[in-house]
Amino acid sequence: MSSTDSRRDGVNRRNLLKGGAGAALLAGLGSATPAKAAGKKVVIGGFVDGALVPFKDKIIPLAQQQGFDIQFLQDQYGVTLEKFFNDAQSGAGQYDLYLLDDPWVPQFGAAEVLEDLGAAGIDGADKDWVRPMVDMGYWPPQTGPRVRGFETATPKLICVPFIGDIQTFTYRNDVYKNGAPKTWDEVLELGKAGVSSGAIKYPVVFDGVSGNPIVTSWHPLLLSFGGDFFDDKWNVIFNSDVGKASADFLVTTLKQNAPPGVVEYDSNEVGASMLRGDSGATIQYTGNALVSDDPSQSKEVGKLDFSVVPKKEKAIAQIGIFIAGVPKTGPNKANAIEFLKWFVTPEIQAKLSAAGAIPVKRTAFTVPPAGNRLIPVTLAQFDAGAMPRPRTPDWAKIEELVGIQLNKALQAGSGGGAALDVAAGQIKDYLTQAGYYK
Amino acid sequence: MTEATRGAAPISDKRSATRSAGRERRQGAGLDLFLPYLLLAPAVLTVFGVLVYPLWNGIQASTKLYRYGKAVSDIGLDNYRRLWSDPEFLNSLWVTLRFVTISVAIETVLGFALALFCAKEFSGIRLLRAVLIVPMVVTPVVVAIVFRLIYANDTGMLTALSEALGGGQVDILSDPVKAFVGLIALDVWEWTPLIFLILLAGLQSLPQEPFEAAQVDGAGAWRTFIDLTVPMMRPVLAVAIVLRTIDAFGTFDQVFVLTRGGPGTSTKLISLYGYEVAFKFQQTGYAAALFVTVGLLILALALAAVRLLRRVEAT
């Protein structure tokens, strides 16, 4: 039948009755099928990141076999926080499950817009969790300073780790022939030799864009140099002598050994620089590292290895896991909680690991075969030293203020310490006005 | 029937007619009274729902202190006072004023030149006019992505071109001045066609007699342009500039994609800063105060421009 014929048939009473009878028959047949095929709808929101690809490709089909009707909606990282927070606050109910970046948890916790997953039956005390990961799901935090208004509140598990992620060191094994460099001095010395031999163009590469990207580059340096952001009373201490030394190291020494346009480099450009073979080493999250052995994306297949980050005083990396929260206004929140309970079972975590993503339960790290050689390195980094970003709902503002000053210093190629002094003053003013020191 | 006969009609008939006419008048008066309001109601309600209520709500929010997304106290005009001691607000306001002034000025000059050129009739002119307005119809986000690909210092088109000619990498987005110039270049590329289109319409509607008279009097092209075209085009120019200025104040998509306000804060326009304050930092009250202030500034600019336009028309 041509399209013209079908139009001629059109909508008439007889066709409607026929259609209605058909629909009724289908509905009847549907009710006879098992309950799991009926579809327990869960709308999951996340941001675009390579670390989520194994979940999307391998775990969602498994969940669907289990009877979950999963809709996975992804946005760019830069707009996800505001979108989720607005959804949770306005009660729009667009999502049943948020995949958050871990520093966003305090903001959602303070606004009290997420379900208590501990009360819903998820055991945060389970010894199988990677401890630093599950600690980030509690609000207020179980340890460390607390913001005003939450000093005496009982910590609740409002989020559960979903995909593990932490910064690790990626390096070229044809430049660092004796294995991973242990210190920053080794990184630069051998990297320069690699440039001289023509193997690479630049010893290192890092995120330099203002705001979150450059702070993500600097934070592990601050920690490695022995510094920290705040003391236990939210006093700014990142502009201590070691803090300033770490900032100067980034904006001067590392910049001199990085691609000339590093000021405008975000994680995409950093990943591309490594995969193109331009740069010899970087600290990065797993999203880019996971594709190192994919010949369709990497020109350096087999030449990129991973290790714990180099140290100055310590070898500490920044945690940046994907962590799941269920909004109180989610239309299918019971399904979302059921899905989470299923997702964190040892069986599914092992499948996640086999698919190449970083699991969140310890047993899954040891299940052979891990789908990616980066997976054991991430566990080693968690055990060697892993720190979250400060647990405050005002982190986005703090990160912005530090990031702007560091980016200006990076652009100038000097003045890292002075930049930190300016940022420290601005943050102190901001926190004072926000009532942190009353 | 004569007037006299009509005047002598029975009194009962007269009363009945008067009653009937009065009823009609009352019915008519009722309709006259309510029908216009009834017809206007959907539009008024829509305007109230999408304009007046949000505006009022925003003004109310601007007098409150928000913490973690919730209003915690009334603070009067404190948010407005805080703006003028906030270096980030002052910086982004200054960046925006520079951006608007420079880009609108360039767009006006280029748009006028193109309009003068395209006002003439010659072979292929219709195609040229159509091509010239293409940038304006491309989605701003797409334009920004394309310009990012052009400017990127490692794999960008400018770097590729420079390297092909024996030069090095071209750093645009990593230098504060160049990034600002790059943002203006994007805006000029995209929005010159709007000015061009308005001015072309203006040029084509000008009366031809003064130009013919000037030609007969032997006036040159430059003299005709200065003494005739520019004065006659002033009202149209003013409209084009006011429209574009108001629009340029709201530029967001391009800068969000191209530079995110960096490097440092060199391209952080007020719209981007306001967005961050409202949605990233969740300072709803402060953001409301910021946008009310910027709205009033734009309103003041627009009123000044309209007053200028009236004065020009009067002279």
How confident is the model over A409-418, as pLDDT tens digits?
999 999 999 9
Report residue B7's pLDDT band, with 50, 70 and 90 as the boundaries: very low
Rounded to an integer, what distance in angstroms lies between the CA atom of residue A395 and that of residue A389? 8
pLDDT of res. B154: 81
Using a 10 angstrom Cβ sphere, with 0-12 exposed, 13-18 middle and 19 or more buried, the burial of residue B212 is: exposed
Instruction: Tell me the CA distances in angstroms from B194 to B187, B198, B202, one per residue in order.
Output: 11, 6, 13
pLDDT one-digit tens code per residue, B169-193: 888 998 999 999 999 999 999 999 9
The pLDDT score that the predictor gives to residue A177 is 94
What would you report as the CA-atom Rg of chain B, rounded to the nearest whole angstrom? 30
Identify the pLDDT of residue A13. 41
In angstroms, the separation between the Cα of residue B88 and the nearest Cα of chain A is 10
Mean pLDDT, residues B304-310 taken together? 80
Mean pLDDT computed over A311-332: 94
pLDDT in the model for residue A290 = 77
Residue with tokens 């009310």: B292
Lowest mean pLDDT, pick from A124-128, A239-243, B152-156: B152-156
Beta strands in A242-286, from DSSP E residues, in sequence order:
279-284
Q: Do A210 and B67 touch (CB under 8 A)?
A: no
**B120 has pLDDT over 90:** no
Range with lowest mean pLDDT among A137-151, A165-179, A196-210, B298-312 = B298-312
Please give the pLDDT value at position B99.
97
CA distance B164 to chain A (A): 18
Long-range contact pairs involving A231-234 (C-beta distance under 8 Å, separation at least 24): A231/A145, A232/A144, A232/A145, A233/A145, A233/A437, A234/A145, A234/A147, A234/A392, A234/A431, A234/A436, A234/A437
pLDDT surpassing 60 at residue B52: yes
Q: Alpha-carbon distance A45 to A95, whole Å?
A: 6
| C-alpha to C-alpha distance for A415 and A407, rounded to whole angstroms | 11
Q: Is B258 on the interface with A (CB under 8 A)?
A: no
Percent of chain A whose pLDDT exceeds 90? 76
pLDDT of B303 above 90: no
> Which two structure tokens, joined as six digits, stand for A341?
């309970």
pLDDT, residue A416, reads 96
- Lowest mean pLDDT across A155-159, A392-396, B17-21: B17-21
Smallest CA–CA distance, residue B297 to chain A, in Å, is 26
ipTM associated with this complex: 0.80
Q: What is the mean pLDDT of chain A?
A: 89
**Which residues in chain A touch residue B173, judged by CB atoms under 8 angstroms apart?**
261, 263-264
Instruction: Give the pLDDT band (50/70/90) at residue B25.
Output: low
Residue A15, pLDDT score: 46
* Minimal Cβ distance to A263: which of B69, B70, B174: B174
pLDDT band, very low/low/confident/very high, at B107 (cuts 50, 70, 90): very high
What is the per-residue pLDDT across A346-363, written as a single tens digit (0 to 9) for each? 999 999 999 989 999 999
What is the chain B residue with the closest CA to A212?
Answer: B260
Nearest by CB to A411, which of B174, B260, B276?
B174
pLDDT-derived band at B14, boundaries 50, 70, 90 = low
